[in-house]
Structure 1
């Protein structure tokens, strides 16, 4: 008979699918795996990226190349919605989803754990509906709390170009207004915001930026973007969070070289973190040039920057080029081709036609706190 501490250490390293099966081994294992302390400390190493165009075709990619055949889930068909659903955001193993548009049907919002196939419908605020013009964000960090919050940025009906933030807490199970209404630049796109440090960050096509701190319930601004290039030549190719850092990548004109910028923790400036040159990738895959887009006097090579994943071992950039997924090491400036995905999935995963979300498995129950 193995000691209890050793059993716990072994189980903490197993994927969620295995743990759900092992609940049937004994009452002792059921109690252990269901324990809040165990769920809080479970961190399976199968973190990676989920690629999704339609929620009935989902593929999991490990940037490190490990466990490449392991798929935590392949669809969200367990969510009972006649209109179908789409993913809006991924946060530490939980997904924020909403129903697709369907004439005569109100849009529903869901919090789900695809690893356990459990989900709940997010309740509507009593005083205002979450409309199609609203932007919704999931705030969840199991290392700090197993409860989560949902932030909704909605346009005020009483004033044009005025917005209000509403916050839902899974702990209080209630919505409340957060902060005062605020004005935003005319071209601000709220559904492309990035969560970092419990704040929602947005950048408009003309370079204007703002952030809303959910904890302090106040509006702030980010420093100017790191280039003085004209907006006609600028291309914001990546804006996201990884490893507790906020990153931004712009590519100017016809170039295989670019920098990865990182926001200072005190919001003082964008700091260049990595220098990237994907010329070796273009040399290896000449279809990137054959499928390029020519605009005015410069070329856009055929590739997408899907995700930046940073941890203690390495910082990896996931690229999608025609027919291939490539993992590029920002620290070593090397790259490798990730294992091919199925033909059915590859037909759906065309350049610019799908979304990538960082994902790690969790035992957190999406329906436990609603």
Structure 2
């Protein structure tokens, strides 16, 4: 009986090689499941260091396609989010405008992604400038070039990848009024460029898709309110929004100028390819917007008034109307920076950006970024009215 038990013991030890093969089989099955589940594979690759990730592009065509997909790049981007960084350009030079990046969180410092745009040699010889930024992509164009010969580019500063847009028909090139980038990685990995060109006294839209890599006409010619700035675009809620008036525009943000007393402006639903009217805020007095911009899925308009309080409007996502979301108290800023007040008792400032932070019910981090006299850039908390200095520009 004892010998029989001993034999059974020895036999049981011989099972280990079989168990090893079973373990390997389980690993293979798990690997196949991971490879077949793109969502699971994305979650794993998001945690892989950049250097190793570039090597993984050689594993298979599937992995290479996944890693270079714009949606994955947006999720894996090592650059700070748009709500943490702002960049300004100096276009005084005749060639190659340079860019300066400003952190929007107090005490933050970021490595400058680029000083000038030199991802390609523009054949016109004057360099490349940024026309618009949209969810991590930049719409760029030949700097100081005539429209007939101007080249347009879409550039990803994270991956250093770029695309040269095919020229719109030469018979239309000199009639281009605006080029607008529309990209939302949540909606689609592909971007579109909306071109508005003049046709006599009317306007026509053409759309370029990175999926088809072709231009095509969209809809019929249309009329627009006087002084509509088709190059002045904000992409929000899946639509390209244009504004009427003498505004100053930079990096997808519009500020300054006059509303021209028009009852509506135009916006274009990119996926539906339909042109709609955006009503102006209903005000008894003449409205002068100080700033129009988008942040975290919200569209804002800051109204200029001859008081120390400015209303910050927000547009409902269903376009049912504007409502007052915040108020800007200039007195709170002048308490900290009295130089904002001119000799004639008016306030001198420039709104750079409005940033929404936190959830809807706890937005204590939402703030405005303003430039005041002396080149100081300050951060104004829209909830508790506190003021902090972010940056100070060198003289000139």
TM-score category of the 2 structures, normalised to the smaller one: 0.7 to 0.9
Give the direction of change, closer, same or farther, for the CA distance of 1:303–1:132 in structure 2 (3 Å limit).
farther
1:319 aligns with 2:365: no
Aligned partner (choices 67, 82, 94) of residue 34 of structure 1 = 67
Change (3 A) 1:86 1:256: farther
> 1:302 and 2:348 equivalent?
yes
What displacement does 1:27 show? 6.6
Instruction: Decide whether the 8 Å contact of 2:379 with 2:388 is kept in 1.
Output: yes
Equivalent in the alignment of 1:195? 235
One of 300, 324, 337 as aligned partner of 1:247: 300
Give the secondary structure class of the aligned counterpart of 1:281. Answer: helix
CA contact (8 A) 1:138 1:149 kept: yes
Structure label with greater radius of gyration: 2
Match of 1:272 in 2: 324
Secondary structure of the 1:317 match is: strand
- 1:144 maps to 2:187: yes
User: 1:91 maps to what in 2?
Assistant: 134
Q: How many residues align?
A: 325
Deviation at 1:56? 4.0
Q: 1:195 to 1:334 in 2, by over 3 A?
A: same
Q: Bigger CA drift: 18-27 or 141-150?
A: 18-27
Which whole-Å CA distance do the structure 1 matches of 2:334 and 2:269 have between them?
40
CA 228–21 in structure 1, closer or farther in 2 if over 3 Å, else same: farther
CA RMSD of aligned residues (A): 3.3
State the Cα distance separating 1:104 from its structure 2 match. Answer: 9.9
State the alpha-carbon separation in 2 of the partners of residues 24 and 102 from structure 1. Answer: 40
1:257 to 298, 309, 316: 309
Structure 1 counterpart of 2:208: 168
Give 1:239 shift. 0.9
Over 3 Å counting, the alpha-carbon distance change for 1:219 and 1:105 in structure 2 is: closer
Which residue is 1:80 aligned to? 121
Question: Is the CA contact (8 Å cut-off) linking 1:196 and 1:241 kept in structure 2?
Answer: yes
Q: Distance in 2 between matches of 1:317 and 1:108?
A: 35
Does structure 2 conserve the Cα–Cα contact (< 8 Å) formed by 1:12 and 1:43?
no
Paired with 1:214 and 1:8, the residues of 2 have a C-alpha distance of 28
The CA deviation string for residues 247-267 of structure 1, in whole angstroms up to 9 with x for no partner, is 1111112x2311110111221
Tell whether the 8 Å contact from 2:194 to 2:207 is kept in structure 1 after alignment: yes
Distance in 2 (alpha carbons) for counterparts of 1:112 and 1:256: 41
- Conserved in 1, the CA contact under 8 Å of 2:332 and 2:385? no
Report the Cα distance in structure 1 between the residues aligned to 2:219 and 2:226, rounded to whole angstroms: 21
1:112 partnered with 2:155: yes
Report if the CA contact (8 A) 2:151-2:164 is conserved. yes
Task: Report the counterpart of residue 356 of structure 1 in structure 2.
Answer: none
**Contact 1:138-1:150 within 8 A present in 2 as well:** yes
Task: Extract unaligned runs of 5+ from structure 2.
Answer: 1-30, 35-40, 245-258, 360-364
1:206 and 2:260 aligned: yes
Unaligned runs of 5+ in 1: 348-370
Cα distance, 1:103 vs. partner? 6.3
More helix by share: 2
* Counterpart contact for 1:207–1:225, Cα < 8 Å: no
Tell me the distance in 2 between the aligned counterparts of 1:44 and 1:117.
Answer: 12
How far apart in 1 are the matches of 2:44 and 2:382? 32
1:321 Cα shift? 1.3
**TM-score of the two chains, using structure 1 as the length reference:** 0.77
CA distance in 1, matches of 2:387, 2:146: 46
